[in-house]
């Protein structure tokens, strides 16, 4: 019986192809938005968490409190100093501490000048800590040596993209803040796109050309035992308050673990997902109204048909089921098309990001819950939208229906 009703609905849809398509439009746009945006945001969350996890769970990042825009730590009113750095190294449980600088500098090549981020590699025992944390590898040339002075390591984009009149190669000469440097290596693509368009110098020459005195942008800390991070964080905060002469609750610095950063990012991504779902829900409501409108129109157009069915023995429940099946199928097919479109759109973004940022950086994530949930929800929207029109159709009197 149900199969007969489904076939009957199918033939009805075929006779009204354009109206059926337009009715489903709102549904599959809404479902496509939900599937594509949630899958991309889930993939983005995995990518970000992966990047932070790569830093290791035994590391902390310390920087002065920010007061403006720009590279981390560089815009603070009261920056970290060598005194702070020495105080940090004395804290029990600190295995290594590395000074980091991230500033904007000029890079000139082939008579074209660009301003971009520049960073440093330490020239002490903490050098390998930074190399490992940033996952630095060269695809051409070599890594900076501790005694290299006027040598520069460039990000992959400076080599692979047309940022300058021609691509920068190993052994090319460039001007950094009007001082000549030789390119000795090209970095492999990094997970953070910003790092791909920056360049690296040794710390001493970096401080020389940028006139940096007794200040530090960021301090990376590796602990001896990651299980003691909460205790070590408290000890570091206590030592820094003493070093910087501030009281508890008035700290002008931050101490952040990868876990804290991941937690903050998850909160932000969850808010973004909620907003996305809310926007898509509006489209689904519009789609549901479209289904309801179509079903009401269908009842008016098929009044005589309903009368004939009732006169040959169809019950009120049969008419009700027929119209509910039709509205449910509209929602279901709209949802199925929306899922296909959503997956296709997500994959397109994934492929585009792989071409621009490198393979594996962003991968769309499609959970079975997302797919089945979207399909079920679209079917549910269709059924709910068809309840009132179906009830109206089932309550028509055969004699009155045949007269119309």
In tens digits, the chain (404 residues) has pLDDT values of 566 556 655 556 666 667 677 777 777 777 887 788 778 777 777 766 665 555 556 788 888 876 555 555 555 567 888 899 999 988 998 888 888 888 889 999 988 998 988 999 998 888 888 888 778 888 999 999 998 989 999 988 887 777 888 888 899 999 999 999 999 999 988 766 677 888 999 999 999 999 888 888 888 888 888 788 888 888 998 888 888 888 887 888 888 876 676 676 677 777 777 777 777 677 677 777 777 777 777 666 666 666 677 677 767 777 777 777 878 888 888 888 888 988 888 888 878 777 766 565 677 778 788 888 888 888 888 788 777 777 776 676 765 655 55
Q: Which domain holds residue 14?
A: 2-52+262-403
Q: CB under 8 Å to 65, separation ≥6 — which residues?
A: 76, 78, 251, 252, 253, 254
Statement to judge: residues 230 and 95 lie in one domain: yes
Q: CB under 8 Å to 316, separation ≥6 — which residues?
A: 394, 395
In angstroms, the Cα distances linking 290 to 33, 301, 375 are: 18, 16, 18
Statement to judge: residues 140 and 170 lie in one domain: yes
Statement to judge: residues 199 and 158 lie in one domain: yes
Statement to judge: residues 115 and 247 lie in one domain: yes
| Distance separating alpha carbons of residues 379 and 324, to the nearest angstrom | 11
Statement to judge: residues 206 and 267 lie in one domain: no
Statement to judge: residues 297 and 388 lie in one domain: yes
Statement to judge: residues 225 and 304 lie in one domain: no
Statement to judge: residues 94 and 208 lie in one domain: yes
| Distance separating alpha carbons of residues 105 and 169, to the nearest angstrom | 19
Statement to judge: residues 190 and 319 lie in one domain: no
Statement to judge: residues 7 and 26 lie in one domain: yes
Q: How many domains does the chain have?
A: 2
Statement to judge: residues 27 and 124 lie in one domain: no
Alpha-carbon torsion 71, 75, 81, 86, what sign? Answer: negative
pTM over 0.75? The answer is: no
């Amino acid at each position: 019986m149900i199969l007969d009703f489904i076939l009957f609905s199918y033939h009805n849809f075929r006779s009204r192809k354009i109206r059926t398509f337009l009715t489903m439009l709102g549904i599959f746009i809404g479902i496509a938005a939900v599937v594509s945006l949630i899958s991309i945001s889930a993939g983005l969350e995995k990518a970000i968490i992966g990047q932070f996890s790569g830093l290791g769970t035994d590391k902390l990042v310390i920087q002065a409190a920010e007061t403006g825009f720009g590279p981390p730590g560089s815009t603070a009113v009261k920056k970290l100093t060598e005194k702070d750095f020495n105080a940090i190294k004395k804290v029990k449980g600190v295995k290594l501490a590395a000074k980091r600088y991230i500033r904007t500098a000029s890079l000139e090549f082939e008579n074209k000048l660009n301003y971009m981020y520049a960073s440093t590699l330490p020239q002490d025992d903490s050098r390998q800590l930074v190399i490992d944390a940033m996952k630095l590898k060269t695809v051409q040339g070599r890594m900076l040596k501790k005694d290299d002075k006027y040598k520069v390591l460039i990000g992959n984009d400076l080599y692979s993209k047309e940022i300058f009149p021609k691509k920068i190669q190993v052994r090319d000469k460039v001007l950094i803040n009007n001082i000549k440097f030789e390119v000795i290596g090209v970095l492999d693509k990094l997970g953070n796109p910003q790092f791909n368009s920056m360049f690296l110098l040794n710390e001493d020459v970096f401080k020389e050309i940028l006139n940096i005195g007794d200040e530090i942008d960021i301090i990376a800390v590796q602990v001896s035992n990651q299980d003691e991070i909460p205790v070590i964080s408290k000890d570091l905060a206590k030592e820094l308050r003493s070093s910087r002469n501030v009281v508890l609750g008035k700290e002008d610095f931050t101490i952040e673990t990868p876990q804290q950063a991941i937690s903050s990012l998850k909160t932000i991504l969850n808010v973004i997902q909620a907003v996305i779902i809310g926007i898509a829900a509006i489209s689904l409501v519009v789609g549901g109204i479209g289904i309801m409108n179509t079903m009401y129109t269908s009842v008016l157009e098929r009044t005589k048909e309903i009368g004939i069915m009732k006169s040959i023995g169809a019950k009120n429940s049969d008419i009700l089921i027929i119209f509910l099946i039709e509205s449910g199928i509209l929602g279901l097919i709209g949802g199925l098309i929306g899922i296909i479109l959503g997956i296709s759109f997500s994959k397109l973004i994934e492929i585009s990001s792989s071409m621009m940022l490198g393979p594996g950086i962003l991968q769309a994530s499609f959970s079975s819950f997302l797919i089945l949930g979207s399909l079920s929800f679209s079917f549910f929207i269709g059924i709910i939208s068809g309840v009132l029109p179906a009830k109206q159709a089932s309550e028509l009197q055969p004699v009155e229906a045949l007269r119309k």
